[in-house]
Amino acid sequence: MRTAVKGKRVIITAGAGGIGQAVIRQLVAAGAEVATCDISEEGIESLRKKFPGIHGEVIDVGDAAMQTRFLEGAIVRFGGIDALVNNAGISGPTARIEDVDVADWTNVFRVNVESHFVACKVVVPYLRKQGDGSVIFISSTAGRLGFGLRTPYSASKWALVGLMKSLAIEAGPDGVRVNAIMPGVVDGERIRRVIAAKAEAENLPYDEMERQWLKLVSLRRMVPPEEIAEMIQFLISDAGRTISGQSLSLCGNQETLR
């Protein structure tokens, strides 16, 4: 099968969350070798128990030196690298722009953009040298739409698209494919926290805010993280060899954000 990833060596950041775990589950089941990291010690311990064959470390990807050590160590352990999934991200504040602290803005960009840049800076030279490989950024529909009260988050996700597009041009001649996945309302704990924060900011009940969010999605459904994982496997596999420089929306047609 052209979507096979057996033996592929994959690094995914922030593996303990909903999307991260779904990706690890998908790739491990398909026979890939996986290394991951997360800021949550409890999350990494849980992953090690669920997936004994993976390599997992507790790190803060916002610390460039720490992330670099993790990435280089994983590549040495694997004896190479075939794919990087940049999954790390935080939601940031939900507030009017005049109420957003500069420190909060900076922290969102440190995790959501700078950590992805650092990961690429470390990994892409290895992919170039072997003349093949895949880099995937997890952006968001907030990276193609505006998102009121979420300016740091939305701006960071737009920045990832620019990083992806530029790197696809830069690394393409060396056989490296670079894409971004733009999930919509992904089912899980994180989106429930975001909806709760929006509901509080707008003085609405949670159920009403959730209803309003899904009304903005043409298919009227949240995105199961497993469907994102399936797309990632496709992009890593030989079936995705001609796909690069693309922002792929998995959102049920998110019409707008509010």
Q: Which of 114, 92, 111, 246 is nearest to 181 (CA)?
A: 246
Backbone angles phi, psi at 85, to 5 degrees: -110, 105
- Cβ-proximal residues to 137 (8 Å cutoff; 6+ apart), any chain: 86, 116, 160, 161, 163, 164, 178, 179, 180, 181
Locate 230 and state its tokens: 């399936």
Structural domains in the chain, CATH included, are: 9-185+224-250 (3.40.50.720)
Q: Please tell me the distance from the alpha carbon of residue 33 to that of residue 31, in angstroms, as a whole number.
A: 7
User: What's the pLDDT score for residue 89?
Assistant: 96
User: What's the pLDDT score for residue 48?
Assistant: 96
Sequence letter at residue 95: A
pLDDT in single tens digits along all 258 residues of the chain: 689 999 999 999 999 999 999 999 999 999 999 999 999 999 999 999 999 999 999 999 999 999 999 999 999 999 999 999 999 999 999 899 999 999 999 999 999 999 999 999 999 999 999 999 999 999 999 999 988 889 999 999 999 999 999 999 999 999 999 999 999 988 988 788 878 888 998 899 999 998 988 898 999 999 999 999 999 999 999 999 999 999 999 988 987 776
Say if residues 11 and 67 touch (Cβ distance below 8 Å). no
> Catalytic annotation on 206?
no
Task: Write out the DSSP string of 172-226.
Answer: GGGTEEEEEEEE-SB-SHHHHHHHHHHHHHTT--HHHHHHHHHHTBTT--PBPHH
Q: Please tell me the distance from the alpha carbon of residue 204 to that of residue 225, in angstroms, as a whole number.
A: 27
Give whole-number Cα distances, 66 to 58, 61, 115, 202, in Å: 10, 7, 11, 38
User: What's the pLDDT score for residue 193?
Assistant: 86
Backbone angles phi, psi at 17, to 5 degrees: -80, -175
User: What's the pLDDT score for residue 80?
Assistant: 97
User: What's the pLDDT score for residue 197?
Assistant: 84
User: What's the pLDDT score for residue 191?
Assistant: 82
* Annotated catalytic residue, options 105, 153, 158, 213: 153
Residue in the block written with tokens 């950041």: 13
User: What's the pLDDT score for residue 258?
Assistant: 65
Say if residues 196 and 224 touch (Cβ distance below 8 Å). no
